[in-house]
Amino acid sequence: MSDELNGINADLAHLARLAIAEQPDDVRLFVARLVRKYRNANPQLAAQMDQYLRANTARGHNPLRKADIHQAQPNQQLPLDDESRLSLLKAFNFETKFEQPILSKEIEESLNQLIQERRQSTRLISLGLQPTRSAIFVGPPGVGKTMTARWLAEQLNLPLYILDLTAVMSSFLGRSGSNLRAALDFAKKRKCVLLLDEIDAIAKRRNDDTDVGELKRLVTVILQEVDEWPSDGLLLAATNHPELIDIALWRRFDLIVNFGAPDNPATKEAIKRFSGQDYGIFERWIDILAFVFAGESYSNIEREISRIRRSIAIGTASDTDLIENIIKIRSISLPKQEKIKFAVILASQTRLSQHAISDITGVSRDTIRKYKSEQIVTTQ
């Protein structure tokens, strides 16, 4: 096959990939590149594509299409990976109000301080101090790191950009350093919050047999940027593998925020929030559910609650059956002493008979009675 035909095939395949992935902005950019590429060799084809592009841009100004409003601003052209034409950054703007995540007191305090520092930055700077410019969010999956970054950007009234590490690193490795730099440069020039989400993806790759030198360069790029980040912007990073983060990188961040699974009151608040208008159904189970969900992430709790709500809505089973079932599953995995504690909570906080509780937990009625009376004595 001739080189020319090979080239056309590759362009066609690439265009198909972008179109199927529903990335209209990337499709437009790629077509623009094709127009330039084919202008000399095939002016008719180039003119036709150019015409499609123009027709489409005009539609992009339709004020009802939110995503396009953002893209329509010329200075908002997001940086791309040259080879894949994928956006290196994803932009978020906040036309809809974003709900505040449920946060522990400590996190709330440190984020409030960060927000206040921003609001009073002139004062800080006049005293020779810099407001917090960078922070790293650490914690297991599903506890609100990404969500908090979005909320924080909204509180600061700044646009949020999230670095797409897959796009940065999807091209052949030699380009990832310059991709990363392009993305960081873009964000640095704007007053914005930049989130380097799941930053351990860079660190993790060190264990693969990919080019270690290249990965080191990536970390170095970030290191330099953390130090030089402008004080009217905010650089955030998030990870659930702190142990994989380069120690030198770690030290550079102004603030470290540790996220964790919700404690008991926060679990109850989460159940309340996620059960929405069905809270009436969940309320009487709240203590039991909080016990059942102990140690679970917010996103797991959300998923379970939504599953129950859906089952209730379509009439698969009653709330009692569904929740008893969850209790049963949870109770099987508990060690003996915990099982007893659980059975006693069930006996004192639900209307379940001791017989039913014994069935569910496998703890004998005698044991339940014994521990329950002991509990009453000790709490008096």
Ligand X SMILES: Nc1ncnc2c1ncn2[C@@H]1O[C@H](COP(=O)(O)OP(=O)(O)OP(=O)(O)O)[C@@H](O)[C@H]1O
Give the interface with ligand X as residue ranges (CB under 6 A): 101-102, 139, 141-147, 238, 240, 298-299, 302
Q: Burial of 15 by CB count in 10 Å (0-12 exposed, 13-18 middle, 19+ buried)?
A: middle
From the list ligand X, Mg ion, none, which binds 76 (C-beta under 5 to 8 Å, kind-based)? Answer: none
Residues that bind Mg ion (CB under 5 A): 145-146
- How far does CA 126 lie from the centroid of its chain? 36
Compute the least distance from the CB of residue 345 to ligand X, in Å: 25
**143, interface contact from ligand X, Mg ion, none, CB < 5-8 Å by kind:** ligand X
Minimal distance, residue 141 CB to ligand X, in Å: 3
Q: Which of 111/357 has CB closer to Mg ion?
A: 111
CA-nearest of 178, 16, 12, 209 to 81 is 178
Token pair in block for residue 150: 């979005």
Residue sitting closest to Mg ion (CB): 146
Cβ distance to ligand X smaller for residue 240 or 325? 240
Question: Residue 101 touches which of Mg ion, ligand X, none (CB < 5 to 8 A by kind)?
Answer: ligand X
Instruction: Kindly tell me which of 35 and 237 has the beta carbon lying closer to ligand X.
Output: 237
Give CA angle at 304 (260, 321), nearest 5°: 135
DSSP state of 87: B
Q: Please report, as a single letter, which amino acid is at residue 365.
A: R
Binding at 240: pick from ligand X, Mg ion, none (beta carbon under 5-8 Å per type):
ligand X
Task: Report which DSSP code applies to 245.
Answer: S
**Whose CB is nearest to ligand X?**
144
**Bridge partners of residue 87, in order along the sequence:** 80
State in angstroms the smallest separation of the CB of 253 from Mg ion.
17
Give the separation between CA 373 and CA 243, rounded to whole angstroms. Answer: 46
> Shortest distance, CB of residue 101 to ligand X, whole angstroms?
4
- Which one, of 237, 230, 224, lies nearest residue 216 by Cα? 224
Tell me the pairing of strands 160-163 and 89-92. Answer: antiparallel
* Residue 104 or 146 having the CB closest to Mg ion: 146
Q: Which is nearer to Mg ion, 145 or 181 (CB)?
A: 145
Q: Which is nearer to ligand X, 88 or 147 (CB)?
A: 147
DSSP state of 351: -
Query: What distance, in Å, lies between the first and last C-alpha atoms of the chain?
Result: 89
